[in-house]
């Protein structure tokens, strides 16, 4: 029996989507769905929910929970990663509250910025432990990474962990449909080309029947900017730099030095920026799960429809050798020629029985590559800090972060990093 292992299986709703998709995929019948999480209560809830879907789907998959991670991984053909180290409380709260004391405000803080740096520092050691287990008990497995910060973790898994991995993010999948819907345009039949880095990949082309749609996109976007809406940061970036970016405005507000500024508080209102958005979402999700739990777990007739998540389609393509195209995060092996070779990039990839084959993109427009490099600088220095254990590289990563460095002095940035290291305590390894 082949095995699909889900690490972080306490993420019950996401487990439902991904492994529910597996149960509805003919080529993946008969697989063992191995669930692992350090929260055994949530693990049992995910098991119960999946058993409900198993009954209604008629799937021949089997579901098994594990409390030993290595045994959960043993013999796996695919590994799905959806962990969050430190959770909302205490770590996400720490990532937001300590920077606030220095006057540094954030929106999401799970990718870049000071919050993204520290989420990386507490997660990298964990995923490298995963990699050691994988090398021992399932060395040929494909690791499908859904955990943020996507670029850094995928980079470390591939370059240091020696794992066959691809990073998967929803932002590429929904970019064109969401943009076109917001502008009142039809996205059916649109041919898009997207490349860059995770959460800052660029819609390089949008065509239909050979016609460039960008002039009409920009015309409608300029009209929409005259009134408040929820995508004002991305439309502003498109106006100034020429291209639409994949990830949301609340994310991109904190990837650049232009939008969240103490000396220009009017920008928050002008661009409709939701400060402290991620903590609010966490609280709402916790409440939402409390109200949703009983209806899902007690529903013996629970049904599932295959979602847009890439995971089951990737596994299906590898098992059947029927090609499937994704937007994937992979090491930059000359794929985007004006970004550093050490970087993790997000590019179109072909998936089949041979694995994940990224496509060559070439040079990005120079202004887009320049924006990407500002984020890559911090990503690579965060990796350097994690691998060397040197505190100075944590400072370097924060000092070069676009938003942090635009707001704070060198002394305040170093002091803030020290406060965050102390507050995280045992969630971080010792730095010297």
* Residue whose entry in the numeric block shows the structure tokens 């040079």: 363
Q: What is the pLDDT of residue 298?
A: 86
Strand partners, 202: 195, 245
The C-alpha angle with vertex 55 and arms to 49 and 58, in degrees rounded to 5, equals: 130
Longest dimension (CA), the chain: 61
Q: What is the pLDDT of residue 267?
A: 98
Question: Which residues are known catalytic residues?
Answer: 170
Q: DSSP of 127-163, one letter per residue?
A: HHHHHHHHHHH-TT-EEEE-PSSHHHHHHHHHHTS--
Burial class for 362, CB neighbours closer than 10 Å (0-12, 13-18, 19+) = exposed
Burial class for 76, CB neighbours closer than 10 Å (0-12, 13-18, 19+) = buried
The DSSP secondary-structure symbol of 184 reads T
- Tell me the C-alpha distance between 336 and 333, whole Å: 8
* 32 φ, ψ (degrees, to nearest 5): -80, 130
- Tell me the C-alpha distance between 276 and 427, whole Å: 22
Q: What is the pLDDT of residue 324?
A: 98
| Secondary structure (H, E, C), 199-231 | CEEEEEEEEECCEECHHHHHHHHHHHCCCCCCC
Inside any domain, residue 254? yes
* Residue whose entry in the numeric block shows the structure tokens 């019950």: 12
Inside any domain, residue 21? yes
CATH assignment of the domain containing 303: 3.90.1820.10
CA quadruple 257, 258, 264, 267: dihedral positive or negative?
negative
The DSSP secondary-structure symbol of 365 reads P
Q: Kindly state the tokens that stand for 220.
A: 């409608």
- Tell me the C-alpha distance between 163 and 264, whole Å: 45
Inside any domain, residue 134? yes
- Tell me the C-alpha distance between 109 and 216, whole Å: 33
Q: For residues 51 and 65, is the Cβ–Cβ distance under 8 A?
A: no
- Tell me the C-alpha distance between 172 and 202, whole Å: 9
- Tell me the C-alpha distance between 347 and 151, whole Å: 12
Inside any domain, residue 79? yes
Inside any domain, residue 12? yes
Q: What is the pLDDT of residue 295?
A: 83
Q: For residues 105 and 403, is the Cβ–Cβ distance under 8 A?
A: no
- Tell me the C-alpha distance between 115 and 367, whole Å: 26
Residue 199 assigned as binding residue = yes
Inside any domain, residue 395? yes
User: How many C-alpha atoms does 174 have within 13 Å on its Cβ side?
Assistant: 12
Give the total number of structural domains in the chain.
Answer: 1
Residue 230 assigned as binding residue = no
Inside any domain, residue 420? yes
| Tens-level pLDDT at each residue, the chain (432 residues) | 799 999 999 999 999 999 999 999 999 999 999 999 999 999 999 999 999 999 999 999 999 999 999 999 999 999 999 999 999 999 999 999 999 999 999 999 999 999 999 999 999 999 999 999 999 999 999 999 999 999 999 999 999 999 999 999 999 999 999 999 999 999 999 999 999 999 999 999 999 999 999 999 999 999 999 999 999 999 999 999 999 999 999 999 999 999 999 999 999 999 999 999 999 999 999 999 888 888 889 888 899 999 999 999 999 999 999 999 999 999 999 999 999 999 999 999 999 999 999 999 999 999 999 999 999 999 999 999 999 999 999 999 999 999 999 999 999 999 999 999 999 999 999 999
Q: DSSP of 304-364, one letter per residue?
A: ----S-HHHHHHHHHHH---EEEEEEEE-SSSBTTS-TTSEEEEEEEEETTEEEEPP-BPP
Q: What is the pLDDT of residue 156?
A: 98
* Residue whose entry in the numeric block shows the structure tokens 């020290």: 418
Distances (CA, A) of 21 to 9, 170, 311, 412: 15, 16, 8, 47
Range of the domain at 125: 1-167+250-321+368-431
Q: Kindly state the tokens that stand for 348.
A: 């179109």
Q: For residues 240 and 406, is the Cβ–Cβ distance under 8 A?
A: no
Q: What is the pLDDT of residue 81?
A: 98
Inside any domain, residue 43? yes
Q: Kindly state the tokens that stand for 429.
A: 């390894």
Which of 292, 349, 402 lies closest to 45, judged by CA?
Answer: 292
Q: Kindly state the tokens that stand for 230.
A: 């929820």
Q: What is the pLDDT of residue 130?
A: 98
pTM score:
0.97
Residue 424 assigned as binding residue = no
């Amino acid at each position: 029996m082949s095995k699909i292992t889900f690490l972080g299986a306490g993420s019950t709703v996401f487990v439902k989507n991904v492994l529910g998709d597996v149960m509805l995929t003919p080529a993946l019948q008969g697989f063992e769905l191995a669930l692992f999480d350090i929260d055994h209560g949530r693990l049992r809830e995910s098991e119960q929910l999946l058993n409900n879907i198993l009954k209604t789907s008629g799937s021949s998959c089997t579901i098994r929970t594990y409390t030993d991670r290595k045994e959960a991984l043993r013999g796996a053909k695919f590994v799905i990663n959806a962990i969050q180290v430190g959770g909302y409380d205490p770590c996400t709260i720490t990532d937001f509250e300590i920077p606030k004391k220095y006057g540094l405000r954030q929106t999401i803080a799970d990718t870049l910025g000071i919050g993204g740096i520290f989420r990386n520092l507490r997660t990298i050691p964990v995923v490298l432990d995963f990699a050691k287990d994988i090398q021992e008990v399932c060395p040929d497995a494909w690791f499908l990474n859904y955990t943020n910060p996507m670029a850094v973790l995928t980079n470390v898994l591939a370059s240091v962990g020696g794992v066959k991995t691809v990073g998967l993010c929803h932002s590429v999948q929904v970019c064109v449909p969401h943009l076109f819907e917001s502008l009142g345009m039809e996205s059916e039949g649109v041919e898009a080309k997207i490349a860059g880095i995770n959460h800052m990949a660029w819609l390089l082309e949008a065509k239909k029947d050979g016609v460039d749609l960008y002039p009409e996109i920009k015309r409608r976007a300029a009209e929409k900017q005259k009134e408040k809406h929820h995508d004002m940061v991305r439309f502003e970036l498109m106006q100034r730099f020429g291209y639409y970016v994949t990830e949301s405005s609340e994310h991109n507000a904190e990837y650049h030095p232009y939008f969240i500024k103490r000396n220009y508080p009017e920008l928050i209102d002008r661009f409709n920026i939701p400060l402290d958005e991620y903590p609010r979402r966490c609280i709402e999700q916790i409440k939402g799960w409390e109200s949703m739990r009983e209806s899902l777990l007690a529903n013996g007739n629970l049904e599932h429809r295959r979602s847009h998540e890439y995971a089951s389609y990737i596994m299906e393509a590898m098992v059947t050798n029927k090609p499937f195209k994704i937007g994937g995060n992979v090491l930059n092996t000359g794929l985007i020629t004006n970004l550093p070779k050490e970087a993790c990039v997000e590019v179109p990839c072909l998936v089949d029985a041979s694995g994940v084959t990224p496509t060559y993109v070439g040079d990005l427009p120079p202004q887009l590559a320049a924006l990407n490099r500002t984020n890559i600088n911090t990503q690579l220095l965060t990796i350097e800090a994690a691998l060397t254990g040197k505190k100075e590289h944590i400072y370097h990563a924060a000092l070069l972060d676009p938003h942090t460095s635009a707001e704070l002095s060198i002394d305040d940035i170093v002091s803030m990093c020290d406060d965050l290291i102390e507050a995280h305590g045992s969630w971080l390894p010792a730095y010297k």
